[in-house]
Structure 1
């Protein structure tokens, strides 16, 4: 599965930590930034794949689970450290669940929003991967 955990460089001192994302931290140019917050613990987010877009997901506060699927495998990764990001390449189904109270999911994306890039139905995702 084309995912990886990215270590986000940080500076530590007695005043607290500073995480730094610059040009060489992630393998794509950032064209969109958004974040999820105040998500009820029973809610599910995501539920789609992207044809071309790459994303880095970071739990800047709290924790949540990311369920990742390809036609051949499923993985669940818990994000709970603000200095670690989950890099998800294109054509991977993702679902976010199990949000802790006060959690914030920061998303850095390689592309601006384009509805044409989304696959929102899992059966369509499986069909898309038969090509």
Structure 2
């Protein structure tokens, strides 16, 4: 199931007896140019990250190590994606509420973003997000 275009994207796997290699290329493996990369690590047990939506930013999230869940919400329905392999990731289009939880010990989340950091792009209020999502759907 796809939630507003969100989907798991398989990455190329180059298998080698010395160790495997996967790659992410902008506009090839993911549908945007990469403007920023950041990672989340050392998350204490039970903590939740995210809890916001973006007006313009798109993301690609990969579990480089360990595992975690990404909960996506379009204002009407929610979907949970469990990430636990470094050879696939989750594409998150703009306008989707997201949070990350259930981080395993030593998990490492890599996030590639389509825009540079811009605090004005964030929507932190869930009720405002739902209102914006409903208004967007009314204009379609």
TM-score bin (small chain): over 0.9
**1: CA distance between counterparts of 2:128 and 2:76?**
15
The structure whose residues are more often strand, as a share, is 1
> 1:41: Cα distance to partner?
2.1
**1: CA distance between counterparts of 2:70 and 2:45?**
13
User: Deviation digits for residues 99-126 of structure 1, max 9, x if unmatched?
Assistant: 0000000000000000111000101101
Matched, 1:103 2:102: no
Q: Match of 2:16?
A: 13
**1: CA distance between counterparts of 2:92 and 2:134?**
20
Q: Match of 2:34?
A: 30
User: Deviation digits for residues 23-47 of structure 1, max 9, x if unmatched?
Assistant: 3111100000000000012100000
Q: Match of 2:6?
A: 3
> 1:127: Cα distance to partner?
1.5
**2: CA distance between counterparts of 1:121 and 1:114?**
16
Which 5+ residue runs of structure 2 have no aligned equivalent? 136-140
> 1:81: Cα distance to partner?
0.5
Q: Match of 2:60?
A: 56
Which aligned segments of 4 or more residues in structure 1 are displaced greater than 2 angstroms? none
Size of the alignment, in residue pairs?
A: 131
TM-score, structure 1 as length reference:
0.97
SS in 2 for 1:127: helix
**1: CA distance between counterparts of 2:21 and 2:14?**
5
TM-score, structure 2 as length reference:
0.91
**2: CA distance between counterparts of 1:120 and 1:48?**
5
